[in-house]
Amino acid sequence: MATDAHSGTPGGSIDEPVSIESETHLEDVTAAHDVVLVDFYADWCGPCQMLEPVLEGLAGETAAVIAKVDVDEHQQLAGAFGVRGVPTLALFADGEQVEQHTGVLPADRLRDLIEGYTE
C-alpha cells in the first residue's frame, strides 16, 4: 500500500487524493464516483511535484475525486492510457474517460474542467 490516503476513504466525498494500487482499483474508483481526475505522475518529475499541491486543493474544493497513479510502479496501467509524458491528467465522468491532458495545467483551468462535468 502506497499511502494511507485511501485506507480511510469514506463512501461519499473524498477530500484528499487517492493512491491507485492497480488497474482494478482505478476501475473501481472511476465507477464509484461521478467525476474522477487521474494524475499519472512520477516522484522524480519536477512539474508533477509543482502540480501536487494544486491537486490536493482541488480534492478538497471540488466534487471530483483526485486519483494518483505512480507511472514507475504501474507502467502497464500508464501504457494502457497512452501516457507518454508526466504529468498526464485523465478526467473520467460517469465511469468513462472524457478528457486527457499532458503537462501542468493551472488550478483555475483544472477547476473549470472539473466543474464542466460536475454541474
SS3 for 78?
Answer: helix
Strand-pair category, 18-19 with 65-70: parallel
- Residue at grid coordinates 490536493: 56
Q: Catalytic residue numbers?
A: 45, 48
SS (H, E, C) 79-115: HHCCCCCCCEEEEEECCEEEEEEECCCCHHHHHHHHH
Instruction: Name the grid cell of 43.
Output: 516522484
Through-space distance between the first and last CA atoms of the chain, rounded to whole angstroms = 33
